[in-house]
Amino acid sequence: MLLYNVFKHIFLVSRHKWKVFILCCKIGMPIRGMLHDLSKFSPTEFWESAKYYDGHKSPIIISKKTNGYSKAWLHHKGRNKHHSEYWIDFTASDQTPVIPYKYAAEMVCDRLSASMCYNGKKWKQNMPLDYWLKEKHKLKMNIKIQNFLTEVFTQVKDKGINKTITKGNIKAIYKKNCIN
């Protein structure tokens, strides 16, 4: 069973990385797309994720339910700046700063790709927004970044990915919510 999970996990991560790469190219950040989630192939992240792989939800969620925590998640969020948890500093005056554009934009691509990969053929353009609205209250994140994500996912729902995920549009939404 573990060998089966290893191959299925490699396939899922590769598919996710490919979709992130395509989306990052659309917003003018192909290098961010190529470098996205390389830590998933580190032993700490890979073996836990293969062990708890089920194909329908993140192995990190399953590990947290089983063990109370996930070593893979602790490793992953500490190395990948496109996760809001990377930016939390409880001892700083600004505990949740505004995430820089390139990482916030990569975060959008990551969340869209995860939604598409985990939902497969059932994916609909309202799903990223529905999931975001259900989960955002659980995250410690700068309100400007929350507003940025909400607006992007609302546009995806209303206009679709191709019209929303463009270099000019994502930059404009970021500027409106995070700079002005």
Please name which of 101, 102, 98, 127 lies closest in space to residue 30, comparing C-alpha atoms: 102
d(CA 42, CA 60): 15
DSSP assignment of 73-127, as one string? HHHHHTT-TTSGGGG--TTSSSSSPPPPHHHHHHHHHHHHHHHHHHHGGG--TTH
pTM of the full structure: 0.94
d(CA 89, CA 37): 22
Tens-digit pLDDT string for the chain (180 aa): 689 999 999 999 999 999 999 999 999 999 999 999 999 999 999 999 999 998 778 899 999 999 999 999 999 999 999 999 999 999 999 999 999 999 999 999 999 999 999 899 999 999 999 999 999 999 999 999 999 999 999 999 999 999 999 999 999 999 999 997
